[in-house]
Structure 1
Amino acid sequence: MSETVRGPLGAAGNNVRRNVRRLREERRWSYREVEERLSRAGRAIPVLALSAIDSGERRVDVDDLVALAAVFDLSPQQLLEPPADCRTCHGAPPPGFLCLECETTGLPT
């Protein structure tokens, strides 16, 4: 099975991608450091695959999600949530609208 994106990422995939990037940058971890931490956690994801996740070119499967959450000391649910640190919408754009800064879509009410 290919690890490349098949069609555009959905809202959850984009949330995970943005949250992983934000957390990695906040902690000043290189891709290599994340790779090493994931390997110690039992889920090896190579540097090139981590870069592809970061750019939205690779999907995160459920095993990746659980391992990434463990490495960042979060729950998988927290990685799936919209990034609340967006300066424009704070992770909650109006229903039916797309935030152009963080690409989060407001859920219909």
Structure 2
Amino acid sequence: MSEPMGPLGSAGRNLRRNIRRLREQRCWSYREVEERLSRAGRAIPALGLSAIEAGERHADVDDLVALAAVFDLGVEELLEPPANCDTCHGAPPPGFMCMECETSALPIA
């Protein structure tokens, strides 16, 4: 029996948004990403990809590495906040969360 999924943290939220953005920029369907992941050695079904993008499924480390390879990026790039957010540009004020992209910044200690 699997453990219930807890809420996504900021890295998980960034990942799901970046995957959707990259997939849509390339005009790839979920099926196309699924096929590319299979060729890369990490099968994630289209339904699983959809669930990752929706924040309903966590991506594990192996998923993350395969997704980075498929999109030809470094893992860290998939986890970065969305710099293209018109509201906060990926950098909300310390202690706040952008309501548009849901990026949050730690308060200043």
CA RMSD of superposed structures (Å): 1.3
1:48 corresponds to: 47
Segments of structure 2 that go 5 or more residues without pairing to the other structure are none
Alpha-carbon separation, structure 1, partners of 2:4 and 2:33:
21
Offset at residue 77 of structure 1 (A): 0.6
Structure 1 length normalisation: TM-score? Answer: 0.94
Amino acid at match of 1:37: R
Tell me by how many angstroms 1:108 deviates: 2.5
Match of 2:85 in 1: 86
State the distance in 2 between where 1:97 and 1:38 align: 35
In structure 2, what is the Cα distance between the partners aligned to 1:53 and 1:74?
18
TM-score (structure 2 length as normaliser): 0.94
Whichever residue aligns with residue 35 of structure 1, its letter is E
Correspondences of 1:1-109 after superposition (within 5 Å): 2=2, 6-109=5-108
Deviates more, 1:4-13 or 1:24-33: 4-13
Alpha-carbon separation, structure 2, partners of 1:62 and 1:5: 18
**1:70-96 Cα shifts (integer Å, max 9, x gaps):** 000000011111111111111110001
Gaps of 5+ in 1: none
Rounded to whole Å, the distance in 1 between the matches of 2:52 and 2:5 is 13
Give the Cα–Cα distance (whole angstroms) in 1 for the partners of residues 35 and 83 of structure 2: 28
Residue 34 of structure 1 deviates from its aligned partner by 0.3
8 Å CA contact 1:20, 1:79 repeated in 2: yes
Q: Tell me the CA shift for residue 107 of structure 1.
A: 2.4
Structure 1 segments, 4+ long, off by >4 Å, are: none
- Which AA in structure 2 matches 1:78? E
Contact residue 84 and residue 90 of structure 1 kept, 8 A: yes
